[in-house]
Copies of this chain bind each other. A is one copy, B any other.
């Protein structure tokens, strides 16, 4: 935490972000502050607020002040403004986040069950996913991706911060079944070799 008094630009950025009712990108801020180069000020402020009760965080390229996570128990009390998601919606959201962009059919393929129309609507309405165009395959299905509001809500700076995403990717768990199957079986059409352990597994 910096003890130096803030310079004029730092003060302006601090005031603007405090007053803003939405997270702001550096470009938004710069435009609002007459074209100033705000990134150094953002960095200085983030450092200044680190460890305080309020922190300056970046979420999907947008900056906001929010209370420190370790104080959640003090602030949570009567607040219940967080939407409770059904299991279907929770899983669909995770699938969109980890696989984006995905079509509804791809979500259903992973979950092994049809996705009710309302499930994706809930996520769209919450502003956590958005329609990201269509896949250029027969039927041109709509595809979905997450939004900056998703990152903000779940406290992610970028999608790379999704819990465990690197491990999942490394383990091939974000690949479709067929790709994983091909990888496991050497990519050939031959049946998987009848190794003893494989037989054991299937015994």
Q: Which residues of A contact B (CB under 8 A)?
A: 1-3, 5-6, 10-16, 18-19, 32-33, 51-54, 65, 67-68, 71, 74-75, 77
Name the contact of A5 in the complex, choosing from B1, B19, B33, B74 (C-beta under 8 A). B1
Q: How far, in angstroms, from A60 to B27 measured CA to CA in the complex?
A: 38
What are some 24 contacts across the A-B interface (CB < 8 A)?
A2-B3, A5-B51, A6-B51, A6-B52, A6-B53, A10-B53, A11-B52, A11-B68, A11-B71, A12-B71, A15-B53, A15-B54, A15-B68, A15-B71, A15-B75, A16-B74, A16-B75, A18-B53, A18-B54, A18-B65, A19-B74, A19-B75, A32-B77, A33-B74
- Is B1 in contact with A67, judged by CB distance below 8 angstroms? no
* Other A-B pairs, 14, CB within 8 Å; known A6-B52, A32-B74: A1-B3, A3-B3, A5-B51, A6-B51, A6-B53, A10-B53, A12-B53, A12-B74, A14-B53, A14-B54, A15-B54, A15-B71, A15-B74, A19-B75
Q: How far, in angstroms, from A18 to B67 measured CA to CA in the complex?
A: 7
Contacts of A12 in B (CB 8 A): 53, 71, 74
Q: How far, in angstroms, from A15 to B52 measured CA to CA in the complex?
A: 8
Contacts of A32 in B (CB 8 A): 74, 77
Q: Which residue of B lies closest to A49 (CB)?
A: B14
Q: How far, in angstroms, from A68 to B12 measured CA to CA in the complex?
A: 9
